[in-house]
Amino acid sequence: MERKMVELEDTGLTFETHVDLGRLKRLAAEWLEVIGEDPSREGLVKTPERVAKAWAFLTRGYRQDLKAIVNGALFPAEGSEMVVVKGIEFYSMCEHHLLPFFGQVHIGYIPGEKILGLSKFARIVDMFARRLQVQERLAVQIAEAIQEILEPQGVGVVVEGVHLCMMMRGVEKQHSRTTTSAMLGVFRESQKTREEFLSHLK
Ligand SMILES: Nc1nc2c(ncn2[C@@H]2O[C@H](COP(=O)(O)OP(=O)(O)OP(=O)(O)O)[C@@H](O)[C@H]2O)c(=O)[nH]1
Ligand SMILES: [Zn+2]
């Protein structure tokens, strides 16, 4: 699939996308018509283009490559103490309603031979959040990616999220929070390790 560089107006932000922006723009204009709007009215003239760019951004994770993200930021481990990176915010889109869900990801791992540059955990979170998701899979994919890259003794991922599809529509519950998790290796096998990780999140 062809990849293009897109520049988001006024942000200076440039990213690579596989999205056919022209086609998405046409579909966005049609969508506006279907919901009873007039895509040619002044306030909406540029909306289809903005929508296309926004969706290219919100789904850019499909085309990101784990190795490129890690970019060699692997360093020799000097111990085997647990590393915990808490409160990494994420924004994703639920695959059932195409509405946002967002919250925080907490990651813990016990190194094997390698440790990972700390910023890369946030990049890995974004790689999987910036696509259509369910919150359960988001946790599993992050954990599996860290397992693949680091070959640690174990990894635990906890995702806390709120879903606009449950707030703005549907059951319309404003205070429900969803927690999902994925535990691999020693985090799965040892209750003590899991408890140590979870105690960091309190
Ligand atoms: N497990 C899981 N479910 C999700 C997630 N995001 C949205 N959902 C749920 O997906 C389900 C889709 O249910 P359906 O009955 O097919 O769709 P719906 O009629 O729009 O459901 P309501 O939201 O109950 O109105 C709903 O229960 C949503 O709450 C997620 O990340 N994980
Ligand atoms: Zn939903």
Task: Output the DSSP codes for 38-76.
Answer: -TTSGGGTTHHHHHHHHHHHHTGGGG--HHHHHTT-EEE
pLDDT of residue 3: 65
Instruction: Give the CA diameter of the chain.
Output: 62
pLDDT digits (tens, 9 = 90+) for 130-150: 999 999 999 999 999 999 999
The verdict on domain 4-63 having CATH code 1.10.286.10 is yes
Atom 12 of ligand 1: nearest residue by CA position: 96
pLDDT of residue 17: 81
The CATH number of the domain covering residues in 72-201: 3.30.1130.10
Atom 11 of ligand 1: nearest residue by CA position: 96
Model ipTM value: 0.89
Q: Structure pTM?
A: 0.92
pLDDT digits (tens, 9 = 90+) for 48-85: 999 999 999 999 999 899 999 999 999 999 999 999 99
pLDDT digits (tens, 9 = 90+) for 8-44: 655 556 777 888 999 999 999 999 999 999 999 999 9
Q: Which atom of ligand 1 is nearest to the CA of 163?
A: 6
Is the minimum distance from the CB of 163 to ligand 1 under 6 angstroms? yes
DSSP-based three-state secondary structure for 146: helix
**Domain definitions of the chain by residue range:** 4-63, 72-201
pLDDT of residue 8: 61
Q: Which residues are annotated as a binding site for Zn(2+)?
A: 94, 97, 165
Q: For residue 156, give Cα distances in angstroms to 142, 166, 187.
A: 9, 27, 6
Residue holding tokens 């540059």? 117
